[in-house]
Structure 1
Amino acid sequence: MALTQYYVASSIDGFIADSSDRIDWLLQFGFEAFDEHYQRFLSGIGAIVMGAATYDFLLADPSLQWPYAGIPTWVVTHRSLPVVEGADITFFEGDLAQLDTELRDTAGDRDVWVVGGGSIAAQFADAGLLDELHVTYMPVLVGSGKPLLPVSEVSRPLELLRTTPFTGGAIEHVYRVA
């Protein structure tokens, strides 16, 4: 059965974007050290879901080549948004439990990736639909911005499954949501 996973990079102080919704702090690290790990993760993904803000962020790049080619992608939104040519995108508004079932069915023997942002991941977590967190903590303090996972519940236990260090000081923690 497919797992629903939130795979994300975060600052040490728990932000996925700064207070201006920028990720310059992340881009300074480059991606060479993470590429093989990321490609292995991506090869296990059968469906993707993201919020409208993350989709807008991707569309803001004028040189955009859809980064998730060949993977069915759902965008949770109540707005009308443009479609990326050649991308398999479905816009969704409604019950997340219904969406989660559709995502898992589509993923088949692969997993579902909650790309982001933190708000949509928190909605999945609050609804009890998030199975795993894959958080790569970058060695930087951002200070303020978009939180990693702004859940509404006070406490939810997590089980650490594994830790992967990367050159440059980044470290990934993978947790099972209990």
Structure 2
Amino acid sequence: MTSAGASAVAFSGSFVDMIMAAILSLLLAWVQLFLTARQRVVTNIFEIGTAGIIAFLARALGSTGYFCYGSLVSSAIILILPGWFICLGALELGSRNIVSGAIRSVWAIVYTLFLSFAISIGSEVYDSFGPAQPSASSTSTEGSALQTVVVQGSFSSNNTAFDNQFQNGGFGFAQV
């Protein structure tokens, strides 16, 4: 339920994204509860491996056009993100336990980097043999929906902190 709610609220997912994020999160929970209880070797790497598998499946579902890849992969792994360790590290740093707070904070950052590395590996594995994905670097616009659009106009701020007028790329300054 957490992943389904996070898909809609935090990652702007649709109703079908909510359902699929819940299913992918159930896969993560199944691996965590049943597979790691039986195999001690798996307990050290299950988060990283499962994040890669979830990214692979989310990329495959995202290529169908019915699901959003970013919403699926982000919300499916939300339960293994190291938020608690970041909170503990910040509290320990605030209470002047510099060594333990720094160790917890650095561990949480490294763990987050491992998770993002697993997500990118899972996505790239699917891209290596899956159908071609649209990329931002494609220069050919024939037969595709990629087009260049030029928007001209002006923007006037009603904020007192930013009172300059923005016109065609300038901030009210003289352009050379």
For Structure 1 versus Structure 2, the TM-score category normalised by the shorter chain is under 0.3
Computing the radius of gyration from Cα coordinates, the structure with the larger value is 2
TM-score, normalization: structure 2? 0.25
TM-score, normalization: structure 1? 0.24
Kindly indicate which of the two structures has a greater share of residues assigned to helix.
Answer: 2
Q: Higher relative CO (CA 8 A, sep ≥ 6), structure 1 or 2?
A: 1
